Amino acid sequence: PGKIYAFQVRARTAVGYGPYSGKMYFQALVEGERSEMVQDRLPLIVGSALGGLAFLVIAAIAILAIIFK
């Protein structure tokens, strides 16, 4: 936890490999940060779940209306 990692990527095609990208640095979460991040994103997760549920309910109502019409 808390370590910094550097990544470089490159594409591979039928004609060979491309050049490497610039270095990208990422830091792993330290202990305790993960639970804080989940708490910060909880409203987004709940809102997304409710939006998906609302879509399913509206789709079910539309299908039932088409079938029983």
Predicted TM-score (pTM) above 0.75: no
Q: Cα separation of 55 and 62, whole Å?
A: 11
Q: Is the dihedral of CA 30, 35, 36, 37 positive or negative?
A: positive
**DSSP, res 45:** H
Return phi, psi of residue 41, to 5°.
Answer: -95, -5
- Which residue range is the domain that position 7 belongs to? 3-68
- What pLDDT, on a 0 to 100 scale, did the predictor assign at position 29? 77
Task: Name the domain count of the chain.
Answer: 1
- What pLDDT, on a 0 to 100 scale, did the predictor assign at position 11? 95
Q: Each residue's pLDDT tens digit in the chain (69 positions)? A: 788 999 999 999 999 999 999 999 998 877 766 666 667 778 888 999 999 999 999 999 999 999 998
